[in-house]
Structure formats: structure tokens, C-alpha cells
Structure 1
Amino acid sequence: MPLTNPWLAGPTPAGRLDRERLEERILNLLSSQNMCVLATTGPDGPIATPVRYYSLDFSVLFTVAPRSPKMRNIAADPRVSVGIFAPLVGLASSRGAQVFGAARVLDPGHPDRAHYWEAFRWENEHAERGRPLSEPPEDTLVVVEAERIVYTEHWLRREGLAPRQFWRR
């Protein structure tokens, strides 16, 4: 049987991307997807929640309902992990990132909110809900600024590079 991707069959390479190329690939992934899985820890253990997100540099942004389980968990322990991935067709197309950081809750009056809010495309959600675009929402915004990222891309093996790469702020 012929191998469609023979470079996947050999031993896993160990080469590392230089920081600039790694950052470019991470930013491409973050900006080309819009769904993530947010992992928080609560009193009953971990909770993983699918969330629609937007990105700004190495930050992941999303809104939350003030009384949601993820908000209660963030208030108790702001350390979170965010999983972001591209659609998978096969191992050769495997591409994703685990983003680790502390979640910052920015209420409507928070002085840092405007900086992040500009990257948040709230108009899409307003249109879906039939809300007027003339009235921006006052939702609570959560920002996860990446402290470290584990980036996975199996296509890197073609260049003799490890499919798992590591980034730190």
C-alpha cells in the first residue's frame, strides 16, 4: 500500500523553529480559527468548555456570563488552558496550540478593556441575536494573555522539525 505522506512514517525529528517563524505560525493559527476549548478548574474538578474567541497578538479574548461556571472557576483560580485547533483531515494536517495563562476579567468600566475590545467582533453576535448594531454590548470580557504555548504541527516534520514546538513570553 502506498504511503500518502511517507515523511510521517520515520522517526520524529527534533529540530526547533526559530522564534520568529514559530510566532508567525502561532499567530496564523490564532487568527484563522474562532473556536477554542477553555479549561478551568472548579470545586468538582476540571471543566472544558467550547467558547467562541477572538485574538489579539498572543491573547485570546471571549465574553462570559457573570454567573457562569467558567466565571466562578476563573474567580477562584485564574490559571487556565485554552486549546485551539484547525480542522483535522489526517495526521499530516494536525495543527493546534495549547495556550497557558491567567484569565483577566475586564468589566465594562475596566481601563484596559478598550485596548482588547477593539479586536472583539461583537457585531457578529449582535446580528445573530437580532440586537441593534448601534448599541455595543456591555458584556464581561475575559482576556488570556499567553504565558506559554505548546504548538503542534505535523507538517513541520517535512522540514526535519519537531511537530511539537514550545513558546514562552
Structure 2
Amino acid sequence: MKRVAIAAGLLLLMLDSALAATDCEAYEEAYATAKYRMEEIGGSSYRERYDLVNDLIDAAIVYLAYCKEQISLDEQYQIRQVIKKGDRKRRAYFRGAVREYHVLYGIRPNVSEIYQDGSGENGGGSPSKERSAPQSPPRFPPVQQPMMPPVEH
């Protein structure tokens, strides 16, 4: 009876390690594919590059998280470096992607809000010294405000 329990325990341990190995192979494959797509295919626009670098970072993090015990320390270091470099690229690609989306959807960046009392975004009564005039016209025309009734005590 004791032998059967030990054999069953060993069998479960072997199955668990085999499943972990196949999972790690799948994660490694996903990481290698994302790395290949980022390096070889690249992207023709900032939006595509942003998506590719996000996929690479996600695949690297998952691979590192789930397969840390099976990966050597030098390979772990290399994966962390890929994540760091990818993050720097992602920041630059994000800025470019935002500009591309602005062009696609006709959004004008740097729109200045001008309020009815003549003040701008900085909250002061006069425009800032850096910008004497707004870069674009106000979004809404001035609207006459109704008079408030007097307060009775």
C-alpha cells in the first residue's frame, strides 16, 4: 500500500514537471516569435511598432515569470535587458503613435482653453509671458451668463 502511494506521488510529480516543461517551451516559443517579429519585420508606422514592442515585452515578462527556474542566470539577464530596451522604445513609439492618431482623427493637439473672463488654462487673468496669444481659437463661443437672484436673509 505504501509503495502504491509513493509510486502515485512520483507519477504525479513527473506529470507536473512534464506539463511545466511544455508550458515553458510554449512561453519560450512565444518570446522568440515576438523577438523575431520585432527585429525582422519591424513596423511601417509608430502604431505598428508600438504594438510589436508591447507584444515583445509581454512575452518576455511571461516567459521570465513562469520559467525562471529553467532559465540560466545569464539568459535571465539578457531577457531583462530586452525588457528595458523595449520599454525605452515603447515610450518613443507611443509619442509617435499619438501623433499618428491625431493626424488620422483630425485632432489638434495643444488646444488652449480660453474662459469667458479672458483667462487661459493657467488660471491667471492675463495670458502667460511665454504665449501672448492662444495657439488656436477658443472651443466655444462666449455665452452670456444669467444674473443670479439676490440672496434674501
TM over 0.5: no
| TM-score, with length taken from structure 1 | 0.21
Normalized per residue, the structure richer in strand is 1
| TM-score, with length taken from structure 2 | 0.22
Normalized per residue, the structure richer in helix is 2
